[in-house]
Structure 1
Amino acid sequence: MTPAINVARKARIPFQIHEYTHDPAAASYGLEAADALGQPPERVFKTLLVALNGDPRRLGVAIVPVSGQLDLKAVAAALGAKKASMADPGDAERATGYVVGGISPLGQKKRLPMALDSSAGNFPTLYMSAGRRGLEIEMAAEDLIRLTGAIMAPIGR
């Protein structure tokens, strides 16, 4: 059981857990998950941490499809910052309590400002990390937003 699954269970929202065998040699954790689950990469989302305004202590969370990239200018604007850069992996792990490649938007150690790419509205449910490599949680975007306080914005490209 991961903190992400515990949060979803406690909230009593509909969700499903999907497990697959993670290959440590995989070039992309997200694309590996999409392939293993037989889902289009546009429906599987990755959780990325950004440093806002150049401050490694001021982090934000961006959730975008594994098929694309994060638009740093767009996520900065969505989270009320002037600029954003990718957070240091060690800072991301300390802030979330998860390891890179298994960072879930749910159940993070610290409540951080969060933005979900607006393409999430194109699907009845989304797949995202459930807190470790090889474990995904599937739920509706509305439930993810309700549980995390995320805002929906066009932050992917």
Structure 2
Amino acid sequence: MSRATRATKMLEQAGVAFTVHAYDYDPDADRIGLQAAEALGEAPGRVLKTLMALVDGKPVCVIVPSDHEVSMKKLAAAFGGKSAQMMKPAEAERVSGYKVGGISPFGQMRRIPAAIEELAMGHELVFINGGQRGLQVRVKPAAAAAVLDAIVAPLVS
């Protein structure tokens, strides 16, 4: 497994401090984020999942704790939209340039508006996908939000 991905390169170029953590990815896991948290020995609230969604038909990247579900109503409101829905996996892969299970908010094919659940900001460090299945980066949530120019808002139900 390569530890140099588009995601880690973006963080390095932005001068963001991070560490890389590999784990055994289970492609059959019901909930990939929870499986990552368990494999890393971390609390699910500190391991954030990256989801791709559409708000009023436009792509957005959503980063929430792995033990929570996104509220479509709150997601739409965070971006000033009327409606939100999850992207289909094939579309998420095409838009992000990453495979499902390895989608990172960092280093996507094009800059997509991002939002981070405000609960994540209560942790000193969080884990976010590093651009490959079985690879996480540990980073300060405020640094992640800053490099992504992300909206910090309540996004979970």
Shorter-chain TM-score category?
Answer: over 0.9
Query: Per-residue deviation at 1:4?
Result: 0.4
Query: Per-residue deviation at 1:25?
Result: 2.1
What residue number does 1:36 align with?
39
Structure 1, residues 38-86: CA drift from partner, whole Å, max 9, x if none?
1100111011111122x2xx11111111101001110111012101011
Name the count of aligned residue pairs: 154
> Aligned letter for 1:41?
P
Q: Which runs of 5+ in 2 are unaligned?
A: none
Contact 1:104/1:131 (8 A) holds in 2: yes
CA distance in 1, matches of 2:69, 2:94: 23
**Structure 1 runs of 4+ with >2 Å offset:** none
What residue number does 1:4 align with?
7
Matched residue SS, 2:62: strand
Structure 1, residues 10-34: CA drift from partner, whole Å, max 9, x if none?
1222101000121222222111110
Q: Which runs of 5+ in 1 are unaligned?
A: none
Aligned ranges 1:6-155 → 2 under 5 Å: 6-53=9-56, 55=57, 58-155=58-155
Q: How does the TM-score come out when normalised to structure 2?
A: 0.94
Q: How does the TM-score come out when normalised to structure 1?
A: 0.94
Contact 1:79/1:114 (8 A) holds in 2: no
